[in-house]
Amino acid sequence: MNLAVRRWAPHTLALLGLLVLLYPLAWLLATSLKPAEEVVTSLDLWPSSLEWSNYTTALEGVSGVAVSRLLGNTLLIATGAVLGNVLSCSLAAYAFARLRFRMSRVMFAFMVATLMLPHHVVLIPQYIIFNQLGMVDSYWPLILPKFLATEAFFVFLIVQFMRGLPRELEESARIDGCGPFRTYLSITLPLTRPALITTAIFTFIWTWNDFFTQMIYLFAPEKFTITLALRSFVDQSSTSAYGPMFAMSVISVLPIVLFFFVFQRYLVQGMATTGLKG
Amino acid sequence: MSTVSAKAPAGADRAPGPPRPGGPKRRRVRREKQWPAYVFLTPWMLGAAVLTLVPMAVSLYLSFTDYNLFEAPRWVGLRNYTEMLTEDPRYWRSVGTTLLYVVVAVPLKLVLALGAAMLLKNLGRGRSFYRSAFYAPSLLGASMTVALVWRALFNDGGTVPDLLGAIGVDSGGWVGDPDLTVFVVVLLTVWQFGAPMVIFLAGLQQISPDLYEAAALDGAGRWRQFVSITVPMLSPVVFFNLVLEMIQSFQVFTPAFAISGGTGGPADSTMFYTLYLYERGFTASHMGYAAAMAWLLLIAIGVVTLVLFRTSRSWVFYADEEGR
């Protein structure tokens, strides 16, 4: 008896926890399928009839911009950000982890310190710079910084990972006459793949979920991301459009959920490494 | 496991220890070949200069000016700062709300994350399923969608007030109640304990089972094992999570924005620091004032981080430093 309790107690607890944790998501899914009048009046999670028209309404999008277009915009930004971060952060990380140069200590300390820098300190001047360059209301302010390794978190993550790699392979490549660029490209980078995948996944999810930067830099509805569109959808709709609003919410997070199911193994590993290596 | 230490990795392995074979000669050869490092660093250096250092200097300058983005900045000295600290009750309200949020949300989130990690560690079968499922809320992060769901769940007639009503606690709608809205944001953050949980879990798995076995042989109970083994062995990870969550919490924006519909209401009760900064800068066009707010935020985060690092010496235990 005691043994059975011991074995099942953690599972019961975990299941209960799961129920509470996932309730809001179940609620979201259920509400996105409810008829308008049921959303506010009924407490039942399960809709009395499935209202698929919520989704067709949501797919039409906002201000005449279809959801497919909005998703495409978001995908474009996220892809640009992923490419930028993986490329620029791995380059900088290789220099910090493996190459010797003057001021390396100072530069590395500065890089780590920027981890603490609130985005808001640089926000206004960055806005002025992009404004002067005529880039406001374009995707450049959202993508360009990623190609300049501005997200210190990822540089740090990749440095930590590279420091854990055995040096022997790189040493022997050097003895065989490989320069630092060859070594980086054909030896170090392939070995760093787990950290690069983590960087890519996080960049994708964070860019997708981002709201603040997109809100500040994008104005034209046809350039909107799905998050921005969702917000203006909320502003425009009354409570009677609750169903379509939550249908659109589901659509907006669907790509992330899919992404997670495909990559969750790497994601969880990568994050675990973040806090432990060093 | 000294995670957040700012050691220069390139220099770290050459400073101490005996001289290497080849000695100074080899070092001279290296010194001639510094240029590849700078090529690798070009994007980062460009970004650090153009998007970090210059903007920092500019925003420091702007914080002493009156600036609306369209006319030239007008120097006003310390006026933004004095106005903020002495004449702006909304500023202090935002400071209070943010501090309350940080003080409640961060410990609650970390305790829950640690509890979940310890639960999952003992699960054996099904662990990876639970791990992913527990992480799911964090995946949606501070997304607009989640905030909308939250607003509906805590609103008058939503699930949470109704459930509380069923057990005899009449709370009314949390979203419309200035005393309760901040806790809607707190619960939203706490719900997303996935990231620290995964880091805790990895940390727990690194603690050698031998330690627990030895302790059990010595007659230590579960609580004793937790206090004497788990806590000290995990303290570097606790520290890492604490610093990270703290820095993030000071900057919370999207949930407050979404739950209040961008207004920070009702009665400024969700006017978090960064939301007020945004309102001052981008809605009211007081960019100088917003810049000054940003600098005080930077200083606050700097001070808190410094204090954490200083105090950490007394409670963070690094196994590899034992006997040093």
Going by pLDDT thresholds of 50, 70 and 90, the confidence category of residue B190 is very high
Whole-number average pLDDT of chain B: 85
Could you give the CA distance from residue A119 to residue B254 in angstroms, rounded to a whole number?
14
pLDDT per residue as tens digits for the range B118-165: 999 888 777 888 888 898 888 886 677 888 888 888 887 788 888 888
Rg of chain A, C-alpha, whole Å: 23
* Mutant choice from A271, A273, A277 vs B, greatest count of B C-beta within 10 A: A271
In single-letter form, the type of residue at position A256 comes to I
Instruction: Using the Cα atoms of residue B323, residue B235, residue A269 and residue A147 in order, give the sign of their dihedral.
Output: negative
List the single residue in A89, A101, A124 with the smallest CB-CB distance to B34.
A101
In this complex, is the C-beta atom of A7 within 8 Å of any C-beta atom belonging to chain B? no
Cα of first residue to Cα of last residue in chain B, in angstroms, is: 15
Chain B nearest-CA distance from A185, in A, is 12
**CB neighbourhood size of A30 (10 A):** 17
Residue B5 C-alpha, separation from nearest chain A C-alpha, in angstroms: 9
Please give the DSSP secondary-structure letter assigned to residue B66. E
Degrees (nearest 5) of the Cα angle B15, A149, A230?
Answer: 145
Mapped onto helix, strand or coil, the DSSP state of residue B65 is: strand
- Taking CA atoms, what residue in B is nearest to A205? B139
C-beta atoms of B36 and A181 within 8 A: yes
DSSP letters spanning B233-280: HHHHHHHHHHHHHHHHHHT--HHHHHHTTTS--STTTT--HHHHHHII
CB-side exposure of B3: number of CA atoms within 13 Å? 25
Does the distance separating the beta carbons of B148 and A249 come in below 8 Å? Answer: yes
For residue B294, list chain A residues with Cβ-Cβ distance below 8 A. Answer: 118, 120-121, 123-124
Q: CB of A206 within 8 Å of any CB in chain B?
A: yes
- Please tell me the predicted confidence (pLDDT) of residue B278: 92
Q: Residue B290 corresponds to which tokens in the numbers above? A: 């917003």
A112 touches chain B (CB under 8 A): yes
Shortest distance between the Cα of A234 and any Cα of chain B, in A, equals 9
* Start-end of H helices in chain B: 9-12, 23-32, 35-47, 54-62, 79-82, 89-121, 127-139, 144-154, 159-166, 181-191, 194-206, 209-217, 222-225, 231-250, 254-259, 273-278, 287-315
Assigned token pair, A51: 């209202």
3-state DSSP assignment of residue B190? helix
Provide the CB-side half-sphere exposure for A257 (13 A, CA). Answer: 13
pLDDT tens across the length of chain A (278 residues):
577 777 788 888 899 999 999 998 888 888 888 887 776 665 667 777 788 888 988 888 888 889 999 999 999 999 999 999 999 999 999 999 999 898 899 999 999 999 889 888 999 999 999 999 999 999 999 999 999 999 999 999 899 889 888 888 888 888 888 888 999 999 999 999 888 988 998 899 899 988 889 999 999 999 999 999 988 887 776 655 778 888 988 998 899 888 888 887 777 777 766 666 44
pLDDT tens digit string along B208-253?
889 999 998 998 888 999 988 999 999 989 998 999 899 999 998 8
Asked if B150 and A23 touch (Cβ cutoff 8 Å), the reply is no
Whether residue A45 lies within 8 A of chain B, CB to CB, comes out as: no
Q: How far is A19 from chain B (nearest CA, A)?
A: 10
Question: In sequence order, what are the beta bridge partners of B66?
Answer: B74
Instruction: Supply the pLDDT for residue A41.
Output: 61
- Residues β-bridged to residue B65: B75
Candidates A115, A85, A30, A77; CA nearest to A209 is A77
Report whether A247 contacts A32 (CB < 8 A).
Answer: yes
Which residue of A122, A132, A206, A246 to mutate against B (max B Cβ within 10 Å)?
A122
Helix (H, G, I), strand (E, B) or coil at B75: strand
What does the DSSP assignment read for A36-87?
HHHHHH---SS-SS--THHHHHHHT-BTTB-HHHHHHHHHHHHHHHHHHHHH
Taking CA–CA distances from B253, the nearest residue in chain A reads: A212
Q: Do A260 and B139 touch (CB under 8 A)?
A: yes
Please indicate whether, in this complex, the C-beta atoms of A147 and B11 are within 8 angstroms of each other.
no
Q: Which residues pair with B74 in a beta bridge?
A: B66
CA distance B220 to A255: 48
Q: Which of B7, B149, B291 shows the shortest C-beta gap to A24?
A: B149
Q: Which two tokens stand for residue B125?
A: 């079968």
User: Vertex B255, ends B249 and B261: CA angle to 5°?
Assistant: 140
Which A positions 173-202 lie with beta carbon below 8 A of chain B? 179-181, 184
Residue in A with minimal Cα distance to B242: A275
| A135 burial level (CB within 10 Å; 0-12, 13-18, 19+) | middle
State how far the Cα of B181 lies from the Cα of B185, in Å rounded to an integer. 7
Beta strand segments in A80-199, E: none
Q: What's the complex ipTM?
A: 0.88
Q: Does A145 touch chain B (CB under 8 A)?
A: yes
Tell me A208's DSSP state. H
Chain A residues near residue B237 by CB distance under 8 angstroms = 275-276
**What does the alpha-carbon distance between residue B240 and residue B245 come to, in Å, rounded to a whole number?**
9
Q: Spell out which residues of chain B touch residue A87, defining contact as CB-CB under 8 Å.
A: 43
